[in-house]
Amino acid sequence: MTERIYNFSAGPAVIPLPVLEEAQANMLSLPGVGMSVMEISHRSKTFDEIIQGAEAGLRELLNIPKDYAVLFLQGGASLQFAMVPMNFLSLDASADYIVTGSWGKKAVKEAQKFGTADLAANMADGGFTRVPNQDELHLNSGAAYVHMTSNETIEGVEFKREPEVGQVPLVADMSSNILSRPIPVDKYGIIYAGAQKNMGPSGVTLVIIREDLLPRIREGLSIMLDYRTHVKDKSLHNTPNTWGIYILNLVCKWLKDKGGLEGMQQENEAKAKLIYDAIDATDFYRGHADADSRSIMNVTFRLPSEDLEKKFANEATAAKLDGLKGHRSVGGIRASIYNAFPREGCEALVEFMKEFEKRNG
């Protein structure tokens, strides 16, 4: 086999090896089918089993209540930035946005095209280093919804619990921490997430939506941009990303075989702790996020200078630790350690950090 290296990419990101192996083994022909998954009709019995398996897998792992629909859409989380306000906001209404980083800012920009997007909190001061406390939220009980980003991938800032929003539907962009730990789905009105971090390849967007919200959707939307279309047609109104849903189904099976999300959370917390402990052990490395808002998926930190950061990322790549350069908008170093990222890779990074400091500290 071609050698695999440690992939710290923020997304598309590492996929579990057993999943890749199974996909590889069945690439030319799904067992008993004689065709690859990419060659079969999305209306075939075989694909029906795959998409139903993916939905059932997610329902079991996330304990999704029955009154929620599970959708597999396209257009990425970025389209959801627009679809949520398009469906639920109007020019004479407002929605509350809790902004804890770069992706939340983008969501606000899209919402402003459809109605009023109020900032229930804007944590931009200091460069998005923490999530707000409950008493810092300026919530409007008449808002159409409250939007939050459960994990800001670029800054590495994560909510550890849901904000209390009363009766207003809570909408969460969970692109970068979905399936990393159990969540109380019933606290949310809508959850959406691009697949390409914890669920599979890019090109599938998961949407989990409470069905009692559907009557609130405004009329006159394009068919493809109206959630009701996809609920009614069970994500098969048009041709979905069949390959992506196939991989997502395998990822759910992998997670179930591992014992589900409680075990995954423990593993993730232990992996993140290894790196955060290494950051805290010295003044050479400086964590970006405040301790109680630290992401267990995206560990962000700085070095004493940008030159050293560049050198760190380059030398790490040469040492087969790839993808550590921070996002171009904020710089620094970011280690993305999603579910499928192995603990050994975190240990290797910690060793590299110690050794790099010795040479450059």
* Residue 326 sits in the site that holds ligand PMP (CB under 6 A): no
Please identify, using beta-carbon distances, which residue of 171 and 353 lies nearer to ligand PMP. Answer: 171
Cα distances from 76 to residues 81, 154, 193, 197, 203, in angstroms, run 9, 17, 8, 12, 6
Please identify, using beta-carbon distances, which residue of 285 and 294 lies nearer to ligand PMP. Answer: 294
Please identify, using beta-carbon distances, which residue of 11 and 287 lies nearer to ligand PMP. Answer: 11
User: Taking Cα atoms as reference points, which of 275, 356, 290 lies closest to residue 318?
Assistant: 356
- Minimum distance of ligand PMP from residue 238's CB (angstroms): 19
Measured in whole angstroms, how far is the alpha carbon of residue 99 from the centre of its chain? 16
DSSP, res 223: G
Q: Which residues pair with 171 in a beta bridge?
A: 147, 190
Please identify, using beta-carbon distances, which residue of 132 and 357 lies nearer to ligand PMP. Answer: 132
132, 189, 194, 240: residue in contact with ligand PMP (rule CB under 6 A): 194
Binding mask 94-123 for ligand PMP (x = CB under 6 A): ---------x--------------------
**DSSP-derived pairing of the beta strands 157-158 and 151-152:** antiparallel
* Residue 173 sits in the site that holds ligand PMP (CB under 6 A): yes
Active site residues: 103, 173, 197
The separation between the first and the last C-alpha atoms of the chain, rounded to the nearest angstrom, is: 38
Q: Nearest to ligand PMP by Cβ — which residue?
A: 76
Which two structure tokens, joined as six digits, stand for 307? 């030159």
- Minimum distance of ligand PMP from residue 203's CB (angstroms): 9
Please identify, using beta-carbon distances, which residue of 141 and 329 lies nearer to ligand PMP. Answer: 329
* Residue 198 sits in the site that holds ligand PMP (CB under 6 A): no
- Length of the chain equals 361
The span from the CA of 349 to the CA of 299, in Å, is: 12
- Minimum distance of ligand PMP from residue 259's CB (angstroms): 26
188 contacts 164 by C-beta, under 8 angstroms: no
* Residues in contact with ligand PMP by the rule CB under 6 A: 11, 76-78, 103, 149, 153, 173, 175-176, 194
